[in-house]
Structure 1
């Protein structure tokens, strides 16, 4: 049996990086941030305020899926995974990956993006993210978590609801 993978998804500004890193740290698992898999052309497009197309996203999604397939240790990975077809590509090599959807209002996320500095994703692209967003369907067995609560509470809720083990530092 393969080791578990938790895939945290949501629009930009939903807290994927912070929550994913905290959850991985709590569990003592590997962590990967989807932004690190983007080719430079994608980053340049987003930085210029140009939304990515499906064609832009396929190589990026396949790179993340390959990373997931290669994991021999438990891991947490983040990815916007806005559309069902994107999630299908990501989970194809790892159908056992547990999907966590960070759910929040456009207003809350816009406020978070306005306060964020040093990231290549400009907040004017938020509308395109919500336009592309297909929340997970019931058959995807996703855990939906409201982001309208403190980060620590979100991590605790994910940990509890997925019934994940405590990491080495929590024993």
Structure 2
């Protein structure tokens, strides 16, 4: 059975870097969740307009379908990045064929703000941190996964993730 790892968290938490770590560690397919957004969604976020649940539904469905496709193709693992801020969003992703695990990156908020302020040319702006925090729902007991709250360098976070993967999967 395919195991899917969703690297989740608010903007600037390090999802892409962490996903690349998982991809390299497990030698698996990787999808950047941002690539599945519609242009309308990108434009809204670029203008500082938070997405509605209705805006997110097709995006989440596309990610879920990509994960299911990996399972149908016989993949042992896959990894995707997705903010997955609400349980309802994660429920959509958990509908993928296979087992879905969440790796919630949760560094200190000021670190997220600093990273977002330093970003150049990305449609997500530093102002989106607060709107994402406002809707963030922590993982619940019925959701498989881990919270990584390491505020260290990317290689330290990667080491935490690899240890969890090795000990649990």
Residue 142 of structure 2 aligns to a residue whose secondary structure is helix
Which segments of 5 or more consecutive residues in structure 2 lack a partner in the other structure? none
Question: Aligned to 2:92, which of 84, 89, 111?
Answer: 89
1:80-132 CA-partner distances (Å, limit 9, x unpaired) = 00000000000112461121110122211101111111211011111100001
Which stretches of structure 1, 4 residues or longer, exceed 2 Å deviation after superposition?
none
- Is it true that 1:4 corresponds to 2:3 in the alignment? yes
CA distance 1:116–1:89, shift in 2 (3 Å): same
1:53-84 CA-partner distances (Å, limit 9, x unpaired) = 10100000000000011103221111000000
TM-score by length of 2: 0.91
Residue 31 of structure 1 aligns to a residue whose secondary structure is strand
Structure 1 vs Structure 2 CA RMSD:
1.6
Aligned partner of 2:105 in structure 1 is 102
Aligned 8 A contact 2:150 2:156 in 1: no
User: How many positions carry a matched residue from both structures?
Assistant: 164
TM-score by length of 1: 0.90
Aligned 8 A contact 1:14 1:147 in 2: no
Aligned 8 A contact 1:17 1:78 in 2: yes
Aligned partner of 1:15 in structure 2 is 14
CA distance 1:100–1:18, shift in 2 (3 Å): same
Residue 138 of structure 1 aligns to a residue whose secondary structure is coil
Which segments of 5 or more consecutive residues in structure 1 lack a partner in the other structure? 166-171
Aligned 8 A contact 2:2 2:99 in 1: no
